[in-house]
Amino acid sequence: MKIMARRHKTRLKKEALRVACFLLLVGIFSAGVCFASLGSKKCSECHTMHRSQNNQVMSEWGDDGPYAALLVTDCAGCHTGANVSGGMPYVLSSIEPLYGQTGTEGGTNTLAGGSFHWVTNALGDRKGHNIVGVASPDTTLLTPPGFTGSTTAIDNSSPGGGSWPAGTQVTCAGTYGCHGTHSENLETNAIRGGHHSGMDGAIISASSESAKSYRMLIGVVGYEDPEWELTPTATAHNQYKGSDQSTDKSTISALCGRCHGDFHRQTGNGDVWTLHPVDYDMSHAAIGTEYRQYGGGTNQYQVAVPVASNQVNLPLSNVMQGGDSIITCISCHRAHGSPYEKLLRWDYAGSSGAGCVYCHTSKS
């Protein structure tokens, strides 16, 4: 009996060991799911354990390294290149991106936010944000136009901590940036966790974590197109959050308002617009009037002039159903830059009015 008992215990130990090994393997392979936002990238493509290789300073460091978080380059260095299907998102290129008239035509390679390429050229101050490490400071606009310092994100921090020292440049992330939390000055700390465990698809709940926020924009929600709108269509595009004439902090326009809070708003009795409104739902317009003709008779979603929705679990294909045709800042502008004045999506000075007539249909 004692021999049988020992054999039974031995079998149990072996079985327990097999189970433990199985669970360990499951854990290892499951961990890869957390890194889905990085695709097939290896750790070594972004990080290095040392500053040298083969007794030489790594060429990736250039004159600016080493970088925080053991990175081999900075934000701009990682996101510089020409966009192709299935690739990572590039927001800067030494060669002018293919843009077309609106950046959404077939054959273009500009993503939803546009590109910082144009801000690096002559008169570029008018065509993009002057990001640190990308472009020289804007000598005319020493603080963000319309900056009030009073608009806060969901993490209760304001850009610049509520003040903006004149001449301080915008950064990709952090205190003076768009991505990550404003309460962290170091960019890598501001977006911590965003690349490794970032969520894909629909971000429907506002969060103070980069990984759980739309495009690592703290507190913003929306549906993320998996190719960052490299080839947008009426049924495959980013779905931006909008909220009709409210103070909802999770909308894409509320994000812009953190730096440009005094720009687009209604004044007086709300009926007379002295500045172009945002977070305004065009479905409130009377049937048959020009705003109700957005997209033509079927009200088809127009990627050239995107509208927002109060529902972001899926990309919209049709609008004018109430809450699905909301004007936003980026209905007209690109967040990073464009080949046109004021970061506009189209040539505002063009004789036809270009993108304006998508909404102001009676003016076409």
**CA–CA separation, 163 vs 143, rounded Å?**
10
Write the pLDDT tens digit of every residue in 175-196.
999 999 999 999 999 999 999 9
Contacts of 66 by beta carbon, 8 Å cutoff, 6+ apart: 51
Question: CA–CA distance from 260 to each of 36, 53, 97, 226, 323 (Å)?
Answer: 34, 45, 27, 28, 24
Closest to 237 in 3D by CA, of 245, 227, 246: 227
Closest to 217 in 3D by CA, of 150, 126, 153: 153
Write the pLDDT tens digit of every residue in 14-31.
444 343 333 333 333 333
* Overall size of the chain counted in residues: 364
3-state class of 171 per DSSP? strand
Question: CA–CA distance from 77 to each of 67, 149, 192, 212 (Å)?
Answer: 11, 30, 18, 24
Give the max Cα distance, the chain.
98
Residues of the chain with pLDDT under 50: 1-36, 268
Q: Which two tokens stand for residue 117?
A: 């390429």
Confidence (pTM):
0.85
**CA–CA separation, 289 vs 33, rounded Å?**
49
Q: What's the pLDDT score for residue 15?
A: 44
Contacts of 75 by beta carbon, 8 Å cutoff, 6+ apart: 133, 172, 173, 187
Q: What's the pLDDT score for residue 2?
A: 39
Q: What's the pLDDT score for residue 276?
A: 86
Question: CA–CA distance from 245 to each of 36, 154, 329 (Å)?
Answer: 36, 18, 13
Look up residue 284 and give its amino acid: H
The gap from C-alpha 310 to its chain's centroid, in whole angstroms, comes to 18
**CA–CA separation, 327 vs 22, rounded Å?**
52
**CA–CA separation, 332 vs 340, rounded Å?**
11
Question: CA–CA distance from 38 to each of 61, 193, 312 (Å)?
Answer: 22, 12, 23
β 222-223/239-240 pair status? antiparallel
Look up residue 18 and give its amino acid: R
Q: Is 24 exposed, middle or buried (0-12, 13-18, 19+ CB in 10 A)?
A: exposed
Write the pLDDT tens digit of every residue in 62-94.
777 788 999 988 999 999 999 999 999 999 999
The neighbouring-strand residues paired with 177 are: 171
Q: What's the pLDDT score for residue 248?
A: 92
Closest to 358 in 3D by CA, of 102, 149, 166: 102
β 222-223/280-281 pair status? unpaired
The neighbouring-strand residues paired with 114 are: 337
Q: What's the pLDDT score for residue 270?
A: 52
The H or E element spanning position 19 is helix 2-31
Quote the strand ranges of 51-129, DSSP E.
Answer: 52-53, 56-57
The gap from C-alpha 166 to its chain's centroid, in whole angstroms, comes to 26
**CA–CA separation, 126 vs 341, rounded Å?**
5
Cis peptide before 144 (omega within 30 of 0): no
Q: What's the pLDDT score for residue 352?
A: 59
